[in-house]
Amino acid sequence: MLDFDVAFEIKTWFDEMLDESYPVFEIGNLSFSASQILRECDPVAYRQSLLDFEDAILENEKQEHFTELLGR
């Protein structure tokens, strides 16, 4: 389990990635980001995507650590 600060940072990166990948949705005077739409409309899909994103980051860090240990 990740500590709170790391989990919050990963969630922030995930939201930024979504928001940079998709345009803001505007309806009338309201604006909604992609991360906000996914989180509010389908919280299960949001959470699963966040967990997949987190796993990818942690896997990448493991690979970098092992590469450093092997001196490559």
How confident is the model over 27-40, as a mean pLDDT? 98
- 65 with 49: CB under 8 angstroms? no
Classify residue 71 as left (phi > 0), alpha (psi -120 to 50) or beta. left
Mean pLDDT calculated for residue range 30-55: 97
Residue 1: its pLDDT value, please? 54
Question: Would you say residue 18 has pLDDT above 90?
Answer: yes
pTM of the shown model: 0.79
Compute the distance between CA of residue 22 and CA of residue 66 in angstroms, rounded to an integer. Answer: 34
pLDDT at 14: 97
